[in-house]
Amino acid sequence: MARVIVVGSGIAGLSTALFAASAHDVVLVTKGALADGNTRYAQGGIAAATALDDSVTLHAEDTIRAGAGLTDPAAARVLAESGPAAIQSLIGWGVRFDHDEGGIELARALEAAHSRARVLHAGGDATGAAIEHALVGALRATSVTVLENTLLTDLVLADAGATRAAGIEVLLADGSRDVLLADAVVLATGGAGQLFSHTTNPALATGDGLAAALRAGVATSDLEFVQFHPTTLAAEGNFLISEAVRGEGAVLRNAAGERFMLGVHPDAELAPRDVVARAIAAEMAGQGGTPVTLDARGIDRETLASRFPTIMAACAEAGFDLASGLVPVVPAAHYMMGGITTDLDGRTSLPGLFAVGEVARTGVHGANRLASNSLLEGTVFARRVAAALAGGLDKAAGGLPEQRSPLEQRSPLEQRSPLEQRSSGVDRGELQRLMWRDAGLRRSGAGLARAEALLDDRAKASTARPDTRDGVETANLLTVARAVVAAATARQESRGAHARSDFPTPEPSAPSRNTATTHATARATTSSGRPLQTQGS
Ligand code: SIN
């Protein structure tokens, strides 16, 4: 039986492990506890065309429209077509979606840029938690080996020319390193919201898989497209206030009490996410930086309490009553549309390496992800990765026909190094603040150049191989930050989530896929060697 390592335990990693469990010796590696991850914070739900008034075509069209001209139509079609079966798989694993009042039909919510109410939810606004809980339970009943508190630090490449993934190097809870070898590695490590000082993502969203891939010279695309969620509670932690609240009828008001979105977009508060987020930022700038407010007073308390119990509780904890008052909201970094370039079966440019979920760039989100497509993406493409693995590892692991950065040196294996406790030497808070300022909702050539210079400077001063968990994560954020800034610099237009004041409109001749990154500090590990340095690409 071939061994497959799956890294990450959100919906993408758990689904991959569940789909692959019967055919392979699956080892699931996760940096925290099995139930930790971004998935459990997802609120609004999971989009799928399950109702009679809806269709796969409409869902695919909405996905393509949201992507601002860069969504791959084939990927959107695969996602939408596979939606109903994916929901059945989730139900089979024990997810209990909410039903309508009759108790027979699945309840469906409307979110921004969807032409139909098609967002399924569970526990009101606790959809991610319900999915995570069910999938963890289902996984526990399989033969999958679970390694918790095991942080991916680098990919291990096979000896002969380092031409394929041969496993991973990890940092264990006691601070030691280990190498886990496998026939295939699936990265399902999620996003990197911690790049920014304001994010909906939990502390663990530090881009570990993406950073490892960048160091190994694996092809990535569209890293400039970072989605900012328009409505998070303007309080420490930026608690997400689901778009579904606006879908139920809540509106946004500025300091003067005006519904400013009416003058911005025909869909007002349900305009695409990037439009709403930037309009809020502009409104805030015009009112001295104070948050705008979410007004849900038009929705009755009973509905709010049953649909949004988690959000009601979070608002109450911060001193706001969603049913009777105005709640201050601000945008925050939420989701990365770009990532490791994959085909529609999760294959990357490195044979033996697959990527799925937020860490992958299938092309399904283009320049702006449609709300509630991310949970669906995680499980739909997981099934396809498992099918590709089942089709035979050699064939499955064929790799995309793209050039990787050349690997230059090899040296003997360091199987397990002693605890050295080297931190990254990088101030994470400073990095987050500069990314928020210069690579956030609004960018400019000058701001990006300033960010690049500072990040280069910090990279030069940083520790080559940090040994603490915080050090590894911060180094990963630095790697990803440099790549995001490089990609944002290269895209000289405004499109979807990427807005530049110096190039304020879409540019028809701009590349549909942006492969700019910084590989200058790329590093990987061979199955018989210490870390390798790779040349810039
Ligand atoms: C939300 O509930 O607004 C977030 C859903 C998503 O990001 O898809």
Q: Is residue 337 part of a domain?
A: no
**Residue of 200, 241, 358, 372 best suited for mutating to test ligand 1, as the one with most atoms within 8 Å of CB:** 372
Q: How far is CA 37 from the centre of its chain?
A: 11
For 171-184, the pLDDT digits (tens) are 999 888 999 999 99
The minimum-distance atom of ligand 1 relative to the CA of 370 is 8
Q: Which domain range does residue 325 map to?
A: 230-332
- Those residues whose C-beta lies under 8 Å from the C-beta of residue 456, and which sit 6 or more positions away, are 482
| Pairwise CA distance, residues 126 & 117, whole Å | 18
Q: What DSSP assignment string belongs to 201-253?
A: S-TT-S-HHHHHHHHTT--EE-TT-EEEEEEEESSTT--B--HHHHHTT-EEE
Ligand 1 centre to CA of 468 (Å) is: 32
**Residue of 125, 131, 232, 334 best suited for mutating to test ligand 1, as the one with most atoms within 8 Å of CB:** 334
Q: Show the ligand 1 pocket: residues with CB < 6 angstroms.
A: 43-44, 242-244, 334, 371-372, 374
Ligand 1 centre to CA of 481 (Å) is: 23
Q: Is residue 491 part of a domain?
A: no
The minimum-distance atom of ligand 1 relative to the CA of 334 is 7
Q: Is residue 320 part of a domain?
A: yes
Q: Is residue 5 part of a domain?
A: no
Ligand 1 centre to CA of 495 (Å) is: 20
The minimum-distance atom of ligand 1 relative to the CA of 227 is 7
Sign of CA dihedral 44, 126, 130, 97: negative
Ligand 1 centre to CA of 45 (Å) is: 7
Q: Whose alpha carbon is nearest atom 8 of ligand 1?
A: 372
pLDDT at site 444: 98
Tokens, residue 174? 């006691």
Contact 10, 378 (CB under 8 A): yes
The catalytic position among 118, 273, 347, 495 is 273
pLDDT at site 437: 97
pLDDT at site 419: 47
The minimum-distance atom of ligand 1 relative to the CA of 374 is 8
The minimum-distance atom of ligand 1 relative to the CA of 369 is 8
pLDDT at site 397: 53
Q: Is residue 310 part of a domain?
A: yes
Q: Is residue 235 part of a domain?
A: yes
User: By three-state DSSP, how is residue 108 classified?
Assistant: strand
Q: Whose alpha carbon is nearest atom 1 of ligand 1?
A: 242
pLDDT at site 408: 28
**Residue of 108, 228, 240, 368 best suited for mutating to test ligand 1, as the one with most atoms within 8 Å of CB:** 240
- Backbone phi and psi for residue 276, each to the nearest 5 degrees, phi listed first: -65, -45
Supply the CATH number for residue 301's domain. Answer: 3.90.700.10
From the number of C-beta atoms within 10 Å of its C-beta (0-12, 13-18, 19+), residue 91 rates as middle
For 244-294, the pLDDT digits (tens) are 999 999 999 999 999 999 999 999 999 989 999 999 999 999 999 999 999
Ligand 1 centre to CA of 42 (Å) is: 6
Ligand 1 centre to CA of 120 (Å) is: 12
Give the number of domains in the chain: 1
pLDDT at site 515: 87
Q: Is residue 214 part of a domain?
A: no
Ligand 1 centre to CA of 154 (Å) is: 30
Q: Residue 407 has what DSSP assignment?
A: B
**Residue of 111, 310, 374 best suited for mutating to test ligand 1, as the one with most atoms within 8 Å of CB:** 111
Q: Is residue 485 part of a domain?
A: no
pLDDT at site 442: 95
What's the angle, vertex CA 384, arms to CA 378 and CA 385, rounded to 5?
Answer: 85
Amino acid identity of 436? W
Mean pLDDT split into 10-residue runs, the chain, 537 residues:
96 98 97 95 95 97 96 98 98 97 93 95 97 98 97 88 88 92 97 97 97 96 97 95 95 98 96 94 96 98 96 97 97 98 97 97 97 97 97 60 36 42 84 97 98 95 85 96 97 97 94 74 46 32
pLDDT at site 522: 44
Contact 362, 195 (CB under 8 A): no
Instruction: Based on the residue annotation, tell me whether 273 is a catalytic residue of this protein.
Output: yes
